[in-house]
Chains A and B, each alone.
Chain A
């Protein structure tokens, strides 16, 4: 009798363990953005993800996975993310993200930039260890993707790391950027990306404007 009870208890516990995963989203129902761009356009937030060529990751293509949707605009970062996510066929899992690119227009609107950072800090939407950089026109970066050996996010991560090793400047991670919202100690300088003939360059650093500084500084 005792043996039977033990077996039943073990069975119930095993089934309970298996049920733990029921509410989780399966791997094949997720898509993995490698980068995100946030800018300001016509007084609104402009937001989009950059996805890998999925054949490298899970043997499906972009068309099939329906992740190749255009960036969206909205009044707030929150509404943009919601609109973008609702257009995706799969759940966006940002844990593999490499780079976050801010547009220069957004950086110069200090109030809106602060709102975007507050949203990112509050939600923890992106991992803290992704690199942050600034581009005059983030969409122009996507135009270079066809000539790249890998997806734009992974390429930018490697490019930034190589350039940092070569002494181009110091990289800044999102986590530190969010911490600086509280600390107010560091002068934040972000890599400023430019494109020329479908080639990406990091030549200058962008000093993040606060109330006093609103300019781009040559190295």
Chain B
């Protein structure tokens, strides 16, 4: 029997966050890093990880001072109008991130499995499945990922090991050639892909208070696990394709899986199965942002009774974002949104709310 108290263990937190980090970063980042810094993209990955650690330390400090999750603290401290504005901004951010994840997920399915099928149909099916998973609550999702974790990552390790046997060492020569600015650009791209770290601000209500320290450690460990996976994958991608060729690929990790020549009949079709790891990780990313977007709508409306309708509304908005990204092939508008609104929001909002709270207490005191 499983308990159903809307609480998850730190091990489940670790595995949930690994899934959230790994999907988008391993699919999108390698070609960007190769374009920015070539072989020195490896240094960008490590620097991006260090930035992530600093951000996590800052967020943990702020949340410790708040003694609760960000939204509850906002409700307690901020004036109603300001709270509403921030909740709407957060809702837009979560909807945008869910839309971006859904767009990549559907695009991978369309390009990798069922080319020629209409994109909106794939997107609708993805969102319906994600909506169903969100209805199951955070515990059921955590259990699913807890079980899938070992199976998928052991198989990924096997595939990477096989791919490592076919590396062209000449592609790996030539480190320390990119300039500092290019390496820094790459590290910022890595840091932006670690955005799910911000979700820590919403987690205190889903874990026991006594386990707060362990929760932060679990998220930190999950982040470095994902950074490790990304670094290993990046070296293998560099050694397999070369940095110049890597820049021309959209989803090089998936190309790698289809390029591995598996000998023997038992492992022959493992390459097709391995695409599943990105299906599950992207699915996790979509569901986690859908889940919090729905929670935010609920906070805005202050009613528990229409939870499923709120979810439907959020799913419709996510569909709109994903479809817009599909229509605009480069998605510059989304990049601009993240750069000027999304990222400043997750960087400065927690600190602003904390300082406002302190100022209010001092004023009252």
Contacts and interface: CB of A to CB of B under 8 A. Distances in A.
Interface in A132-181: 161, 173, 175-176, 178-181
A149 B116 CA distance: 37
A128 B255 contact: yes
Interface stretch (A44-52, A101-109, A182-190): A182-190
A127 interface: yes
Interface string B116-141: 11000100010010000000000000
Interface stretch (A17-25, A27-35, A53-61, A76-84): A17-25
B171 interface: yes
A183 B259 contact: no
Contacts of A179: 241-242, 245
A69 interface: no
Given A20-B117, A20-B121, A128 B242 contact: no
Contact of B116 (A23, A176, A183): A23
B230 to A, nearest CB: 21
Interface of B is mostly: helix
Contacts of B244: 182-184
Contact of B260 (A129, A161, A184): A129
A161 B166 CA distance: 14
Main secondary structure of the interface of A (DSSP, over half): helix
B117 to A, nearest CB: 6
A13 interface: yes
Interface residues of A, number: 22
A17 B125 contact: yes
B248 interface: yes
A20 B116 CA distance: 11
Contacts of B300: none
A184 B170 CA distance: 11
A18 to B, nearest CB: 12
A65 B304 CA distance: 62
Contacts of A183: 171, 241-245
Contact of B259 (A20, A129, A181, A185): A129
Contacts of B121: 16, 20
B355 interface: no
A67 to B, nearest CB: 23
Interface residues of B, number: 23
Given A128-B255, A173-B261, A23 B117 contact: yes
Nearest to A131: B261
A185 B125 contact: no
A179 B182 CA distance: 23
B258 interface: yes
Interface in B144-195: 168, 170-171
A182 B170 contact: no
B60 to A, nearest CB: 42
B168 A176 contact: yes
Contacts of B245: 178-183
A20 B244 CA distance: 37
Interface in B39-77: none
A182 B242 contact: yes
Given A23-B116, A23-B117, A179-B242, A186 B259 contact: no
A26 to B, nearest CB: 14
B330 interface: no
B263 A129 contact: no
Interface string B66-103: 00000000000000000000000000000000000000
B258 A161 contact: no
B339 interface: no
Interface string A179-206: 1111111100000000000000000000
B114 A186 contact: no
Contacts of A178: 245
B259 A173 contact: yes
Contacts of B114: 20, 24
Contacts of A13: 128
Contacts of B168: 176, 185-186
A132 to B, nearest CB: 12
Given A127-B258, A128-B258, A185 B170 contact: yes
A16 B260 CA distance: 35
Interface string B244-261: 110110000001001111
Nearest to B261: A129
Interface in A116-130: 127-129
Contacts of B241: 175, 179, 183
Contacts of A20: 114, 117, 121, 125
Interface string B288-319: 00000000000000000000000000000000
Given A182-B245, A183-B244, 4 more contacts: A20-B117, A20-B125, A128-B258, A184-B244
Query: Which 3 residue pairs are nearest across A and B when measured between Cβ atoms?
Result: A183-B242, A179-B245, A182-B245
